[in-house]
């Protein structure tokens, strides 16, 4: 009996004093292992008479269970302490600023898209979108392109393989098909801008086979050419962030507008840079005009009741002019050095009140 009490007292003291899992396991082996003190006492049961074995057996089993429970309790405590120590030593300070090479940048084209949307959004324009792959009707016929027009030829446009009906789909050459879809699906008044990718068979310093465009469309019963000029002049002032922007409209030809005009802004080309709002030179930045009556008819609108204007501008070219990029081709080369130089912080959203760029 005294042996049991002595072993229990010493074992519990050793268990409570174990400061790590390895020491605790050593106590377990020395007390409950095959050669441990409790195991040695258990082996003596075989040499006892039945009455003595009946008395000592339960006492030894109870001792073994108490020591096992004490070991498991101490083990849980030590594991929790070890985990807390690891969490304290391995934590990362997320409040530290990120390293520069972990900072992303917004592509200049996306920046200019957002700037244009902010400007026209303030004028009450909504955003409309459509598919990149179009049919002949929406891309050409509905827009008053005659048969034999150069834009319908392979050297100018990317055509798809003919389908089972012999129709060749086309990678849209402008976002104007969305104008057609909008006029056919919505009742005037209509006031939308249409940002998106367009495709033409060209490749040099100022042309790429895929580029970006924003078109605008206004349809109602009262809009006239004066509204067109005022809208686009206000856009030029806001986009280039120069109050003194001077514009002029030159007669031009587009199949889908009549009359048609290209808009120029006055600029200074000296010194190898283009400065908007000063100088005596002119620079063409977009095309525009009153929507052709044939286009209105093709969309189910009566040109005697409705009229409006449309315009289109190349986003890539506008980005080149505003931010001084000399060549279009790096836009598509995925060069992180170029993007880090010309890119924008993505969380700084353009704002007419706070500044576009």
Residue 295 corresponds to which tokens in the numbers above? Answer: 């286009």
Residue 102 clears pLDDT 60, i.e. is over it: no
Contact 7, 41 (CB under 8 A): yes
pLDDT of residue 258: 94
Looking up tokens 């209509």 gives: 190
| Cα(356)–Cα(235) distance, integer angstroms | 12
Residue 155 corresponds to which tokens in the numbers above? Answer: 């050297």
Low-confidence winner among 74-83, 90-99, 135-144 (lowest mean pLDDT): 90-99
Region 260-272: mean pLDDT is 87
Tens-digit pLDDT profile for residues 191-227: 999 999 999 887 766 677 888 999 999 999 999 999 9
The CA-atom distances, in angstroms, between 257 and each of 143, 174, 180, 286, 309 are 9, 14, 13, 14, 8
Contact 257, 226 (CB under 8 A): no
Residue 101 clears pLDDT 60, i.e. is over it: no
pLDDT of residue 1: 47
Residue 283 clears pLDDT 60, i.e. is over it: yes
Contact 200, 157 (CB under 8 A): yes
pLDDT of residue 293: 96
- Sign for the CA dihedral angle at 143, 263, 356, 204 comes to positive
Tens-digit pLDDT profile for residues 228-257: 999 999 999 999 888 888 899 999 999 999
- Answering whether pTM is above 0.85, one says no
pLDDT band, residue 59 (cuts 50/70/90): confident
The CA-atom distances, in angstroms, between 115 and each of 13, 118, 247, 336 are 75, 5, 20, 23
Contact 277, 285 (CB under 8 A): no
């Amino acid at each position: 009996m005294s042996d049991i009490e002595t072993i229990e007292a010493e074992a519990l003291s050793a268990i409570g004093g174990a400061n790590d899992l390895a020491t605790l396991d050593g106590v377990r082996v020395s007390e409950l292992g095959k050669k441990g003190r409790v195991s040695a006492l258990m082996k003596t049961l075989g040499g006892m008479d039945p009455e003595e074995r009946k008395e000592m057996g339960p006492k030894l089993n109870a001792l073994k269970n108490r020591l096992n429970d004490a070991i498991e309790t101490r083990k849980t405590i030590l594991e929790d302490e070890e985990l807390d120590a690891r969490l304290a030593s391995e934590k990362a300070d997320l409040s530290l600023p990120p390293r520069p090479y972990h900072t992303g940048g917004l592509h200049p084209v996306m920046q200019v898209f957002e700037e244009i949307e902010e400007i026209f959004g303030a004028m009450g324009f909504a955003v409309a979108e459509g598919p990149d792959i179009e049919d002949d009707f929406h891309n050409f016929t509905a827009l008053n392109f005659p048969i034999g027009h150069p834009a319908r030829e392979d050297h100018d446009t990317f055509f798809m393989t003919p389908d089972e009906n012999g129709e060749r789909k086309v990678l849209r050459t402008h976002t104007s098909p969305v104008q057609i879809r909008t006029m056919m699906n919505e009742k005037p008044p209509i006031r939308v801008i249409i940002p998106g990718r367009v495709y033409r068979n060209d490749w040099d310093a100022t042309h790429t086979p895929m580029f970006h465009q924003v078109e605008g469309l206004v349809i109602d019963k009262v809009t006239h050419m004066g509204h067109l000029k005022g809208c686009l002049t206000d856009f030029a002032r806001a986009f280039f962030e120069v109050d003194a922007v001077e514009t002029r409209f030159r007669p031009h030809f587009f199949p889908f507008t009549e009359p048609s005009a290209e808009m120029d802004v006055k600029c200074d080309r000296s010194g190898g840079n283009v400065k908007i709002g000063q100088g005596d030179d002119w620079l063409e930045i977009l095309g525009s005009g009153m929507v052709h009556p044939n286009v209105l008819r093709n969309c189910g609108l009566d040109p005697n009741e409705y009229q409006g204007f449309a315009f289109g501008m190349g986003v890539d070219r506008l980005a080149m002019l505003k931010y001084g990029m000399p060549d279009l081709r790096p836009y598509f080369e995925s060069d992180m050095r170029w993007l880090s130089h010309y890119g924008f912080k993505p969380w700084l959203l353009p704002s007419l009140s706070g500044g576009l760029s």
